[in-house]
C-alpha cells in the first residue's frame, strides 16, 4: 500500500514524533471523517507499506530525525510559495528558513524525492500574476539542483476554503491570461532544469509545457522502490486527479499552519480543541477512543508485482543501479 502522510494535516511539521511512534509499534488508528465512531486499524509494517508520501509546508522539526524512516521508502510534497503572513500566517520566513530547509532535506534524501509545490495560486490585487512570476522565479532559482519537479495548481473554492478565505478579494483570470502566465512559469522551471506539472486542474496547459501531475505518482514510486507496482486510480479523489490509490492516516482540523486557502480546517477553535488532545504515544491522532467507537482492522496488501515477465528483465532501478 501507499501511505499518505497527509492530505489532511501537516504531520512532518507538528506530529512527526507521533508518526515515528506509530511506525515503531507497527500500526495506527484512523478515524473515519464521515462516521466518527468508525476507526480503522492500519498495519504499518515495512513489508506492507510500499512507499510513504509526505505532504508538508515545513518539515524542519523532522530534519534531524530522518533516519527514523530508514526501513521505509518515501518522498516529499513540499509546498513553498510566495505568500506572506496574511495568507500563510504560521509558517517561518521563506527566504531565511524554509528554502534552506528544502535544500537540507534534499541533500539528505536526494532531490528525486523532493517535489516542490507552488500551490495553490491565488490572484488578488496584491498577489498579481506579475507578483507570482517574480516569487516563482526567486524560489526556483534558489531550489535549482535540489529538485527535479515543480507542481502548480489554482485555488479551488471548497466550502471550508470559502469560509477561510473570507475577506480575501480574489481576481478571476481568463483562459488566455492564465495560459500566458503558465507559459512564463514553464519557461522559468525549464531554466532551472525542473519539469512542471499541474495538480487536478480542469484546464489543459500542455501547450504551455505543463503535464498533468499525479501527486501519488506510480512511475515515481516505482523508481524509488526499484519495483513495479499494480495500482488503481484513487476513486476517492476528484476526476481531474491522477493519483493512484493510497491510505490516508491524517485527521481534519489538526493543522496549525492556519493557511487561508485550507480545505482541511473548519475553524481555529476546532483546531485548538483537537490539538490539545495530541499525545505522541496515542495510537490515534489528536483524539481519544471512547466506548462508542468501533475499531476494525483494514485489510490491506503490498502493491508490488512479485512476478515479472522476460520483457521486464531489463527494468532499471533509478539512478544507475540495476534492479535485477
* Residues of the chain scoring pLDDT < 70: 157-160, 238-240, 307-324
pLDDT at 190 (0 to 100): 97
Cross-strand pairs, 244 = 233
Contacts of 179 (CB under 8 A, 6+ apart): 205, 207, 208
Q: How many domains does the chain have?
A: 1
Q: What is the DSSP secondary-structure string of 81-113?
A: -S--TTTSTTSPPIIIIIHHHHHHHHHHH-GGG
Residue 317 belongs to a domain: no
Q: At what angle do helices 99-109 and 129-143 cross, to 10 degrees?
A: 40
pLDDT digits (tens, 9 = 90+) for 229-272: 999 888 777 666 778 999 999 999 999 999 999 989 998 999 99
Residue 322 belongs to a domain: no
pLDDT at 173 (0 to 100): 86
Residue 107 belongs to a domain: yes
The total of other beta-carbon atoms located within 10 Å of residue 226's CB is 17
Residue 81 belongs to a domain: yes
Rounded Cα gap, residues 101 and 59, in angstroms? 7
Residue 306 belongs to a domain: yes
* Residue whose cell numbers read 509546508: 57
pLDDT at 167 (0 to 100): 77
pLDDT at 317 (0 to 100): 46
**Do 50 and 303 contact (CB within 8 A), yes or no?**
yes
Contacts of 323 (CB under 8 A, 6+ apart): 226, 227, 315, 316, 317
Helix (H), strand (E) at residue 162: helix 159-164
Domain with 254 in it: 2-312
Give the closest residue to 151 by CA, choosing from 59, 217, 229. Answer: 217
Rounded Cα gap, residues 97 and 259, in angstroms? 18
Rounded Cα gap, residues 14 and 86, in angstroms? 21
Residue 129 belongs to a domain: yes
Cα pseudo-dihedral 155, 219, 236, 242, rounded to 10: 40
Residue 166 belongs to a domain: yes
Rounded Cα gap, residues 258 and 64, in angstroms? 25
pTM summary value: 0.91
> Is residue 79 classed as helix, strand or coil in its secondary structure?
strand
> Is residue 78 classed as helix, strand or coil in its secondary structure?
strand
Residue 34 belongs to a domain: yes
All three cell numbers of 25: 509499534
Amino acid at each position: 500500500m501507499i501511505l499518505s502522510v497527509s492530505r489532511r494535516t501537516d504531520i512532518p511539521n507538528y506530529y512527526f514524533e507521533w508518526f515515528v511512534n506509530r511506525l515503531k509499534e507497527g500500526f495506527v488508528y484512523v478515524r473515519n471523517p464521515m462516521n466518527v465512531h468508525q476507526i480503522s486499524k492500519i498495519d504499518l509494517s515495512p513489508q506492507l507499506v510500499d512507499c510513504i508520501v509526505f505532504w508538508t509546508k515545513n518539515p524542519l522539526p523532522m530534519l534531524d530525525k530522518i533516519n527514523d524512516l530508514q526501513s521505509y521508502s518515501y518522498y516529499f510534497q513540499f509546498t513553498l510559495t510566495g505568500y506572506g503572513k496574511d495568507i500563510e500566517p504560521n509558517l517561518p520566513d521563506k527566504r531565511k528558513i524554509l528554502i534552506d530547509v528544502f535544500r537540507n532535506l534534499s541533500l539528505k534524501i536526494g532531490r528525486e524525492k523532493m517535489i516542490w509545490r507552488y500551490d495553490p495560486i491565488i490572484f488578488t490585487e496584491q498577489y498579481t500574476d506579475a507578483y507570482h512570476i517574480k516569487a516563482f522565479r526567486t524560489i526556483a532559482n534558489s531550489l535549482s539542483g535540489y529538485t527535479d519537479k515543480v507542481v502548480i495548481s489554482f485555488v479551488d473554492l471548497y466550502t471550508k476554503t470559502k469560509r477561510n478565505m473570507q475577506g480575501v478579494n480574489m481576481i478571476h483570470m481568463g483562459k488566455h491570461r492564465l495560459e500566458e502566465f503558465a507559459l512564463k512559469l514553464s519557461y522559468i522551471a525549464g531554466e532551472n532544469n525542473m519539469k512542471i506539472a499541474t495538480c487536478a486542474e480542469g484546464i489543459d496547459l500542455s501547450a504551455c509545457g505543463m503535464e498533468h501531475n499525479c501527486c501519488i505518482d506510480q512511475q515515481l514510486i516505482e523508481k524509488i522502490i526499484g519495483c513495479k507496482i499494480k495500482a488503481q486510480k484513487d476513486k476517492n479523489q476528484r476526476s481531474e486527479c491522477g493519483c493512484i490509490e493510497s491510505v490516508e492516516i491524517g485527521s481534519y482540523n489538526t493543522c496549525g499552519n492556519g493557511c487561508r486557502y485550507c480545505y482541511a480546517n473548519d475553524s481555529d477553535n476546532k483546531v485548538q480543541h483537537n490539538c490539545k488532545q495530541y499525545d505522541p504515544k496515542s495510537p490515534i491522532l489528536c483524539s481519544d477512543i471512547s466506548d462508542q467507537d468501533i475499531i476494525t482492522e483494514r485489510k490491506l496488501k503490498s502493491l508490488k508485482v512479485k512476478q515479472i515477465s522476460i520483457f521486464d528483465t531489463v527494468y532499471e532501478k533509478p539512478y544507475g543501479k540495476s534492479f535485477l
